A and B are shown apart, each in its own frame.
Chain A
Amino acid sequence: MPLHRNDQHVQALSRRAVLKTIGLAGLALAGSSAWADQSMRLPFASGPQERPITHDFPQKGPMILQRTRPPLLETPMEVFDRGVFTPNDQFYVRWHWAVIPTSVDADAFRLAVRGHVNQVLSLSIGDLLKMPRVELAAVNQCSGNSRGFFSPRVPGAQWAHGAMGNALWAGVRLKDVLDRAGIKSGAIQVRFSGLDEPVVPEAPDFRKSLDIDHARDGEVMIAFAMNGEQMPLLNGFPLRLIVPGWYSTYWVKMLSDIEVLDRADDNYWMATAYTIPDTPHANITPGQTGVKMIPISRMVPRSFFTNVTEGASLPAGASAAIRGIAFGGDTSVAKVELSMDDGQTWQPATLGEDHGKYSFRRWQVTIPQLAKGHHSLMIRCTSLSGDVQPATPNWNNSGFMLNAVETAHVTAA
């Protein structure tokens, strides 16, 4: 049963919604939640910085509320300190359109495979469970993760660093499913779509495509499990596309339709939205025009502190174990390094267990006794392909692909 489905008149719907708010729901939202007064401050350079902490979403624990409908829920940073895998109930949530089925019948659900294929398929969950199974640890990160730190700031979801997570995904290879349908010669791309729909029928449905060779590389998978359990509905139950090393925009949730195309996909979400300047680090100067734009694709290395927050106090005269997480982007973490002198010298961090090249990797550095006063700690990841986090933040109009070195300013007292 879809939520907020639109009939013919969006305005009528919105006016109905308005009346409902005044009548009942508004009061409920304003007053009844025990956590209504719990909020959190995101360390952006300018406001608004305050966000509610919500417990109101199904199958979800405490999350930073960025948008109620359709949900944008951010993972609080301290969750990443607890382990290398992000728990399902605090894994971030991001939807584009508000018509999201709130009920999915696992027996009736079918995944369609169609288009430029020899045989159209309609696969049940049971059919997929009978196929060879694969498991993969992989980071899922929103293209706009950390957008709130862009300078100058840009419109879009104002995420801090928590629009990312790492999970152990289990499912089947996309390649095996495509082989079962039989791809006809001349196939160019494969397009994916989920059960969610636009609120206005003429608006562009959310669909994403991968080149045929990428789709058949044996790594892209269709997952039915996340960290050993079925996925929370808001993370894409019952099936989600997993595109290791690529931004989450391609990881289509509630995956229900796979269409093999004999042409390049020019739909809005490929050709216009989620495009980046074709420049190093997708970087341009604010106001720069005439730049060639291309679809966003591979992730780049990043590293974060998880047990020190910006502005934290540490005991003076004592050493401290500083730790965090890193990932290489589209390949392994080669090294993580910490600097205490504004990037002049770097010392290597000890890396935690390796869960594969697409996973978070934990890191730790024991820093020597801190003198009283202010210190800045910088953390930097280099990937196996030699890609290193830049010292200067990149910028683009959409707020995509931020991956500069992170700095935590701490005070020893």
Chain B
Amino acid sequence: MRHVIIALGTSFAALLTPASAQVQPAPPITSTSVELPPGDALFPGGSSADAINNNCLACHSADMVLNQPVLSRSAWDSEVHKMIKAYRAPIDEGDVPAIVDYLASIKGTN
């Protein structure tokens, strides 16, 4: 088995193998600035999507929710409560039924 970890530097000279002679010098590490796409498209459906648009876009974009497979209504209910409990989504309990209705209507089983 070839050496997979190749150490450089004098204190590790004992581990050097011929293969390690080819280890690259460290590349320059330079400051980086980027721009990310906003990902702020809305859930489709007009007013039937108001509750989900008001409550479910703060932490992540709609596309991943729309990419989910169909799930049962109770599975969608658990998802919404997972967002509230585990991820501290600030959602009014009063909005939950409208959100679950929306998800069950576009992504519900039967």
Q: Which residues of A contact B (CB under 8 A)?
A: 3, 6, 10-11, 13-15, 17-18, 20-22, 25-26, 29-30, 44, 46-48, 51, 56-59, 65-72, 97-98, 100, 102-107, 125, 129, 131-137, 148, 153, 155, 157-158, 170, 198-200, 202-204, 218-219, 224-225, 228-230, 233-234, 237-238, 268, 272-273, 332, 354-359
Contacts and interface: CB of A to CB of B under 8 A. Distances in A.
A157 to B, nearest CB: 7
Contacts of B88: 198, 200, 202-203
Contact of B58 (A6, A25, A233, A268): A6
Contacts of A355: 4
A155 B75 contact: yes
A230 B4 contact: no
Given A155-B71, A203-B88, A103 B34 contact: yes
B21 interface: no
Main secondary structure, interface of B, reads loop
Contacts of B75: 155
B37 A29 contact: yes
Which among B8, B38, B57 has the highest number of chain A CB atoms within 10 Å? Answer: B38
B69 interface: yes
B36 A71 contact: yes
Given A69-B36, A106-B31, A198-B59, 10 more contacts: A15-B54, A30-B41, A56-B37, A68-B37, A68-B41, A105-B31, A225-B26, A228-B27, A354-B2, A356-B1
Interface residues of B, number: 53
A14 B35 contact: no
A215 to B, nearest CB: 15
Nearest to B82: A155
A69 B29 contact: no
Interface of B: 1-9, 11-12, 23-24, 26-42, 53-55, 57-61, 63-64, 66-71, 75, 79, 86-90
17 contacts: A6-B58, A21-B38, A25-B40, A29-B41, A66-B67, A67-B39, A69-B39, A106-B30, A106-B32, A134-B8, A158-B69, A200-B88, A225-B26, A230-B30, A272-B86, A354-B2, A356-B2
Contacts of A6: 58
A129 B23 contact: no
Would you list the 4 A-B pairs with minimal beta carbon distance, nearest first? A69-B39, A68-B39, A356-B4, A58-B34
Given A58-B34, A228-B24, A11 B60 contact: no
B32 to A, nearest CB: 5
A225 B55 CA distance: 39
Contacts of A57: 36-37
A219 B34 contact: no
Contacts of A155: 68-69, 71, 75, 79
A58 B36 CA distance: 7
A69 B34 contact: no
A125 B29 contact: yes
Contacts of B53: 14, 18
B59 A98 contact: yes
A106 B30 CA distance: 6
A102 B55 contact: no
Given A14-B54, A132-B9, A136-B5, A102 B35 contact: yes
Which among B37, B75, B86 has the highest number of chain A CB atoms within 10 Å? Answer: B37
B58 A14 contact: yes
A200 B39 contact: no
Contacts of B9: 131-133
